[in-house]
Chain A
Amino acid sequence: MSELLQQIINGISLGSIYALIALGYTMIYGILRFINFAHGDVFMVGSFIGYYLAPGIISLAGGNLILAAPIVLMAAMLGCSVLGMTIEKLAYRPLRSRPKLTVLITAIGVSFFLEYGGQLVFGPDPKLFPALIPSGFVINTENLVVGTNSIVVIATALALMLLLRFIVFNTRMGTAMRAVSYNHRAASLMGINIDTVISFTFILGSSLAAAAALLYSSVYPSINPLMGIFPGLKAFVAAVLGGIGNLAGAALGGLIIGITETFVSGYISSTFRDAIAFSILILILLFKPAGILGSHESEKV
């Protein structure tokens, strides 16, 4: 029983990280109708920004992690926002009116560029991510161990998701985003600057990825330039599972993937861990392609 509870807590913690990444996929898909394959690698860059900045900021803050961690978080989010915006401007914007396949291939190109460029810049060997979350235990009994890690991860993710919800549903920019996702042309006729909205979406998505990266690296502290591939793919699956383009769906999908994955590696075998998300993806696409919360879009002729 307590093992089950333990697995569920671990699963929610991992799942909320996937959810944060999935939100980026889903928002960009909602606006541009394409999958930003490079999103997982923006996540990786976020982790490396944290890796390089954290020691300096922690020593500036006098070793006070509660003061330092939010600053590192902000810095990584800012860095990734700039990166996400630049990628959109340089690689995706020139292709906006081109066939989807062209944009897809470009996105794959950007993804590999970040991965292998990362290997050149950061070095291909794994690095140890500095501890940003004070280590300790909230619950520490014989059968159940809940570290501060899990609690901080879940709380931060929840806070960011609520913030995102507020931005999308209660601000002018959020309204513009929703308008653009319904119809580009109509939105631009209403005086909405499409380019600004798209840039803003990339900023939001990339900064969530950066936050997810710091949380992920705090739980799994070995980081390397290819670390973004699998979390990225799994988060994408989460976005599809929940219904791509749907914010609540992405969060739900992230949790489902996180929990399933933890259960499979806990009860069956951890070697199957990476295949689980893909199996879920294939099943969902075969039986309910619109996802759990998504609505089916019919193709216009």
Chain B
Amino acid sequence: MKFYRSIIIFAAAVMLSFLAALFENRINPYYFQILIYIGINIILASSLNLINGFAGQFSLGHAGFMAIGAYTSAVVTSTLRISGDSIIDIAAFAVALLLGGFAASIFGLLVGIPSLRLKGDYLAITTLGFGEIIRVIVQNLDFLGGARGFTGIPKLANSFWVFSTVAAVIFLIANLVNSTYGKAFLAVRDDELAAEAVGISSTRIKVIAFVTGAFFAGMAGGLYAHFVTYINPAQFSFLKSFEIVVMVIIGGMGSIAGVIISAVLLTILPEALRTVAQYRMVIYSLLLIVIMITRPQGLFIRRRKTGNIVVPKARII
């Protein structure tokens, strides 16, 4: 029943985003831009939540995956000169986005492999390193524009693309973690050794988490690239990764709804508080410290104490 309900919600969300796309010319472009960023950040934060929250790994390189998706899809659409006028162009854009996702998930696999041997701190810094290596390599590739950036990307992403991807990501993640298969993620997070003992291959789970998470981050990157039409390597530095990590932590690692709320809030707040923009990162970092000391489960979710065996249920709403 639950599965069917989520399919209905998914379909409704796609319809809504399609309707929204019809009206998007009437919205103030500034608000519209924020709306799109909210969507992209939800995709990024939810996909990172799969790695950091559900599988219990700690990745600090999400912006790297995003960069790969952004550049791959941008190269595809600009070499094919896709303008978005015909139905074939629209299909080609979908293919470009998926290709970006696949390219990112290949790198997710590459990062996933060391994660089999590494834990916590080491994994965090290795993923950070991966992200930075990707950035430095892109910076040195002339056909991607190097440090100057990649210009002339067709403006194809609109609210339909962004929000149907949001719906797809949430649909997939929610159903994954509520499935029997997905319980394995939580088991690996809570106690890897015990999970292995009941026959779960923790290796497999970790790699799946990285590959899936990277795939969605790559799609988010593709959407971002085709919305802003200009990308450069500096946009995908580890500050971006950190921003996504903050969204996941404030929302509550392993909480789908909490992470969505925090992605929305943390996209709107900096816009609303532009006058005190220089305090933003200071506030983020203080929030992080205070939350870790007082409410490690995140701000919005009332949850089990640590050490309790009860597995939290992830819900869409």
Interface residues, chain A, CB within 8 Å of chain B? 34-35, 91, 94-95, 98-106, 108-113, 115-117, 119-120, 233, 236-237, 240, 269, 271-272, 274-275, 277-279, 281-282, 285-286, 289, 301
B124 with A104: CB separation less than 8 A: yes
Please judge, given known A-B contacts A101-B58, A271-B140, whether A282 and B292 are in contact too, CB under 8 Å. no
Whether the pair A281, B125 counts as a contact (CB closer than 8 A) is: yes
Closest B residue to A116 by CB, please name it: B281
Residues of A within 8 A of B296 (CB): 98-99, 102
Q: Which residues in B have their C-beta under 8 angstroms from that of A274?
A: 132, 136
Assess the B306–A99 pair: CB atoms within 8 A.
Answer: yes
A95 touches B242 (CB 8 A): no
Complex CA gap A111/B124 in Å reads 14
The count of chain B contact residues (Cβ–Cβ below 8 Å) is: 42
**Given A104-B120, A289-B118, A113 and B129 touching (CB < 8 A)?**
no
B146-188 contact mask (Cβ, 8 Å, vs A): 1 or 0:
0000000000000000000000000000000000000000000
The closest CB in chain A to the CB of B110 belongs to A282
By beta carbon, the residue of chain A nearest B119 is: A100
Stretch at the interface among B9-17, B264-272, B283-291: B283-291
A-B contact pairs, 28 of them (CB 8 A): A35-B121, A94-B293, A95-B293, A99-B296, A101-B56, A101-B120, A103-B292, A106-B289, A108-B245, A108-B288, A109-B285, A109-B289, A112-B285, A113-B285, A116-B280, A119-B278, A120-B278, A233-B125, A233-B129, A269-B140, A271-B139, A272-B136, A278-B128, A278-B130, A282-B129, A286-B114, A289-B122, A301-B193
Chain B residues with CB below 8 A from A105, complex form: 245, 249, 288, 292
Q: How far is B249's CA from A299's CA once the two chains are assembled, in angstroms? A: 28
Interface of A, secondary structure class, is helix
User: B2 on the interface (CB 8 Å rule)?
Assistant: no
The answer to whether B282 has its CB under 8 Å from any CB of chain A is yes
Contact of A112 among B117, B126, B129, B284 (CB under 8 A): B284
- Residue ID in chain B nearest A33 by CB atoms: B121
Find the A residue at minimum CB distance from B282: A116
**Chain B positions 189 through 220: 1 when the CB is less than 8 Å from some CB of chain A, otherwise 0:** 00001000000000000000000000000000
B113's nearest neighbour on chain A, judged by CB, is A286
Point out the residues of chain B lying under 8 angstroms from A95, CB to CB.
292-293
Provide the bound-state CA to CA distance between A112 and B284, in Å.
8
Task: Give chain A residues whose Cβ lies under 8 Å from the Cβ of B242.
Answer: 108, 112
In Å, the complex CA distance between A103 and B122 comes to: 13
Decide yes or no: A113 and B286 within 8 Å by CB, A94-B293, A100-B121, A271-B136 being known contacts. Answer: yes
CB-nearest residue of chain B relative to A275?
B136
B114 touching A282, Cβ below 8 Å: yes
B292 engages A279 (CB within 8 Å): no
| A100-B120, A282-B114 known; A115 vs B133 contact (CB < 8 Å) | no
| Contacting residues, chain B, for A100 (C-beta < 8 A) | 119-121
Interchain nearest-CB distance for B296 vs A (Å): 5
Closest residue of chain B to A274 (Cβ to Cβ) is B136
Give Cα distance in the complex from A251 to B140, angstroms: 31
B137 at interface (Cβ–Cβ under 8 A)?
yes
Chain B CB within 10 A, most for which of A119, A233, A274, A275: A275
Given contacts A99-B306, A110-B285, A113-B285, contact A285 B193 (CB under 8 A): no
